[in-house]
Structure 1
Amino acid sequence: MKREHIPDQSKAPIYEALQTFRQMRVVPFDVPGHKRGRGNPELTRFLGEQCVSIDVNSMKPLDNLCHPISVIRQAEELAADAFGAAHAFLMVGGTTSSVQTMVLATCKRGDKIIMPRNVHRSVINALVLCGAIPVYVNPEVDHRLGISLGMKREQVAKAIRENPDAVAVLVNNPTYYGICSDLRSIVKMAHDAGMYCLADEAHGTHFYFGENMPVSAMAAGADMAAVSMHKSGGSLTQSSLLLTGPNIQEGHVRKIINLTQTTSGSYLLMSSLDISRRNLALRGKEVFRHVVSMAEYAREEINAIGGYYAFGRELVNGDSIFDFDPTKLSVHTRDIGLAGIEVYDLLRDEYDIQIEFGDIGNILAYLSIGDRYQELERLVSALAEIRRRYQTDGSGLMNQEYIDPEVVTSPQEAFYADKRSVPLEDSVGKVCSEFVMCYPPGIPILAPGERITAEILDYIRYAKAKGCSMTGTEDPEIERINILAEEVR
């Protein structure tokens, strides 16, 4: 996108417009109905007058997210410049909305899309909506850690050779645990085959601003990237960015966004994106240098405890682990005889420490711009005490995080097909018609259209017994599961 002037990253157009609007003392005969908080004093006391007074509706001075022409447009142009994209879209439906827009903008019913199986549920939900067919590149597994890795170059090349009619390749950059694939090579392979390359960068905002980070999607030449500004970028929860490269038509993407995104875009979320982009553009290098330093300190201290393994760049092998996100504080816990979810629960219940998630064998403490050394020291001390108090024999712990699924039918066909509910134990060999997942991280154990196996059921029961938060099924207790009413072979 051509720009007639050099963007001034010290500007925050939406924030500045809201400040001006606040001083105008406009009488509101529009929505929202709380009328700048006057109609809901309890809410105003809770959130503060500063906040509710700018919870306003679209109007000429403040632009319109569905068709931006002034301050929102300017904020998007500044974001595009900061992230090195041809265009950036402010998203108020979370990165789920950004991911689904990427898929819906490039795929239609019957199209194939190449992707790793360890994608977030939002990707498979997008396939339910558009009817595209997943071609899974099943990632290698680190059996010691029990985590899925990145996509190997040869795996992607093989998938492209065997599916020349696929329209896109989707890559996690990085995974929840900080693992990165060789994104530049994958982008080149996709483009050489006439396919788009899409990147789920929900956990990679800092790649655009930090030093010595893994390559960002836009720098690698990807066509679209979904970026969770609210995760490591400091904006409010549910605010996100969708970045596009020069080969993507802006108007088409806007039409796709407007299919599902609200027509009442939150100015709290949009202004938080605007302010956070400015902060990162002006101070991002310094901020993330500090975050990396904290993460390296924490890894060293946790590994000195014994029994834990806080893993990092020593895992890099140049292919399935092409690079590693140095801000990720991922810790393997099985060697002290505890599942990650058990350590997660102990940290919260016994030590008032809330980490991002725990799974079968690992925990993740999410470090970003708001963390300080004193809280890290508290975390390290708590982990040392947990080892001392609760360490046990871990020989009976399950060690596999990833189960290779058999895809029988498309997610859309399975989701909308006639279905019946059966007890878990009666579902072996049947085709699942709903999701089963631990959240976080939200990577499906089962997705619609996949065959249920005894191994998968063992994993589900084990995860439940260890206290994982299981979601996705109609039955909240996950004692029953929906399967296709008619057998599919």
Structure 2
Amino acid sequence: MKEDRERAPLAEAVACYAAEQVTRFHMPGHKGGKGISAAAARIMGRRVFELDITGVEGMDDLLQPTGVIREAEQLLAQAYGAEASYFLINGTSSGMQALILSTCNPGDEIIVPRNMHKSMVSGVILSGARPVFVSPEVDPDFGIALGVTPEKIAAALAAHPQARAALLINPTYYGTTSDLTTIAAQVHGRGLPLLIDEAHGPHFYFHEGLPPGALTQGADAAAQGAHKILCSLTQSSWLHVKGGRIDRGRLQAVLAVLLSTSASYLFLAALDLARLQMVKEGRAILERTIELAERLRRGVRQLPGLTTFGAEYCGRPGVKGLDPTKVTVGVKGLGLTGQQVELYLRYRHRIQVELSDLYNVLFIVGPGNTAEDIDKLLAALAALVKDEAGRRERTELPPALPPAPRQILTPREAFFAPAESVPLAAARGRISTETVTCYPPGIPILCPGEEVTAEIIEHIEVMKSNGYRIQGPQDGGLTRLRVVKE
């Protein structure tokens, strides 16, 4: 019923408990804020501590819900057209790990994109699965990884008939989406589940001007970050399941292993309220958000040296659709790096971007942004263009990635193997225990268990000398690499 959908039972229960002014002889130690310091009260406010409770009488149990948490999760499933939904208080990462552990046993193959998120790497390590990598498309102008094409998924399925699942990112960080309807039909044709990292797409289900959500295109499960675009708290996420290809009993058992036994009711209440906001006002909020994002896009196109893309980008290989709330601005026409532009905006104009890479800065326009925000940003970008007038040195494109190396061990085997740190030049022929990723395009050069080749070492040295950002290794400067000990 509409009246039920427009309630937030879990958040309401938390508020009622705080209003009762119960004398607390339970965790946490601050006892509803009575024990906090003056500095904590000044900086954080007392209300957050009043609402910071634990699983006391009437608050239910996240790992075995039967009361208000179960009711809130049922309302969440209704909102997203799922058959079962779960609150996550360890971020979307825990959802991705749970899906991998629920579908794969040690040694099983799972089809994953080469630009897989760290949570996928950790899920593969925890499960002992063997990843079958599929390369995403890469845009040559912006240097960003796009989606995976149905043709590549079909080839991976044919080459690996024993695979247990396929896992994809949709949308990408930059907002591009894949043809999930076609891919779901291919994966289901083999009797396998399609798992989606939908961390950046929980808003897709509430406005027709956005790409369709993964669950509406045949996905069997999707993990979402309710805080990335929507208005929940950081680290709070959702996991949705639909259909019978996911063993829900095993999934719930895995979640009980992964999730904290001390669930934050601040996170849980925020998740309940974020769902309620979308159900009641989602379309209107997103209509305004999309309009602001398009206003930013139009303004950027008027500034010489800056580039961006919109709906015209769709239809390229790996780009079925685009989330308009993600505005990627290419800056290489100014002769600057994205990192330089990020620092300029932060310290000259008090504007913080979502991310920067060598060529781009990414802006996420969300429900909390205003028309004044867009005007301020466009004015700052105009000042940047004026300050850099005449520079216009075009940044060189990165060299093509070397061939994917041979996988000798599974990521789990490499992770738990005795390891040692060696100079990068001495790592040739050794087995990496680390992931090495260069931005752009954000596709790993090395993953745990793979052989370090001469081509990979040469590529890394070229990227380092040209100032590209490298993530993953313990040695951030990548003069050394951790490899399996001989």
TM-score normalised by the chain length of structure 1: 0.92
Which residue, 252, 270, 278 being the options, matches 2:276? 278
Which residue, 302, 310, 322 being the options, matches 2:320? 322
- Count the aligned residue pairs: 479
Quote the sequence identity (%). Answer: 36
Quote the offset at 1:425 in angstroms.
3.6
Which AA in structure 2 matches 1:34? H
Query: Which residue of the partner structure matches residue 458 of structure 1?
Result: 461
Check if 1:227 corresponds to 2:231.
no
Asked whether the 8 Å contact 2:358–2:440 carries over to 1, the reply is no
Quote the offset at 1:273 in angstroms.
0.3
Q: Residue by residue, what CA displacement relative to the aligned partner does 1:36-66 show, whole Å, maximum 9, x if unpaired? A: 1112233233222211011111022111111
Which AA in structure 2 matches 1:15? A
- Answer with 280-289 or 421-430: which moved more: 421-430
Asked whether the 8 Å contact 1:117–1:137 carries over to 2, the reply is yes
Asked whether the 8 Å contact 1:143–1:399 carries over to 2, the reply is no
Alignment gaps of 5+ in structure 1: none
Which AA in structure 2 matches 1:337? G
Secondary structure of 2:329 counterpart: strand
Q: Residue by residue, what CA displacement relative to the aligned partner does 1:95-145 show, whole Å, maximum 9, x if unpaired? A: 111111111111111111112111211101110111111111112221122
Asked whether the 8 Å contact 2:113–2:148 carries over to 1, the reply is yes
Quote the offset at 1:476 in angstroms.
4.7
Quote the offset at 1:24 in angstroms.
2.0
Check if 1:343 corresponds to 2:347.
no
Which AA in structure 2 matches 1:454? I
| Residues 265/440 of structure 1: CA separation in 2 closer, same or farther (3 Å cut) | farther
Query: Which residue of the partner structure matches residue 365 of structure 1?
Result: 363
Which AA in structure 1 matches 2:464? R
Secondary structure of 2:64 counterpart: coil
Query: Which residue of the partner structure matches residue 40 of structure 1?
Result: 36
| Residues 51/476 of structure 1: CA separation in 2 closer, same or farther (3 Å cut) | same
Asked whether the 8 Å contact 1:410–1:448 carries over to 2, the reply is yes
Query: Which residue of the partner structure matches residue 248 of structure 2?
Result: 250
Check if 1:472 corresponds to 2:472.
yes
Alignment gaps of 5+ in structure 2: none
| Alignment root-mean-square deviation, CA | 2.2
Which AA in structure 2 matches 1:11? R
| Residues 462/264 of structure 1: CA separation in 2 closer, same or farther (3 Å cut) | farther
| Residues 101/296 of structure 1: CA separation in 2 closer, same or farther (3 Å cut) | same
Query: Which residue of the partner structure matches residue 131 of structure 2?
Result: 134
Secondary structure of 1:169 counterpart: strand
Write the distance in 2 (CA, Å) between the matches of 1:18 and 1:231.
23
Asked whether the 8 Å contact 1:171–1:183 carries over to 2, the reply is no
Secondary structure of 2:167 counterpart: strand
1:1-400 matches, cutoff 5 A: 8-41=4-37, 42-247=39-244, 248-317=246-315, 319-390=317-388, 392-399=391-398
Secondary structure of 2:302 counterpart: helix
- Answer with 253-262 or 316-325: which moved more: 316-325
Secondary structure of 1:379 counterpart: helix
TM-score normalised by the chain length of structure 2: 0.93
Which AA in structure 2 matches 1:128? I
- Answer with 184-193 or 477-486: which moved more: 477-486
Quote the offset at 1:459 in angstroms.
5.7
| Residues 270/431 of structure 1: CA separation in 2 closer, same or farther (3 Å cut) | same
- Answer with 435-444 or 7-16: which moved more: 435-444
Write the distance in 2 (CA, Å) between the matches of 1:327 and 1:90.
25
| Residues 129/68 of structure 1: CA separation in 2 closer, same or farther (3 Å cut) | same
| Residues 211/418 of structure 1: CA separation in 2 closer, same or farther (3 Å cut) | same
| Residues 221/131 of structure 1: CA separation in 2 closer, same or farther (3 Å cut) | same
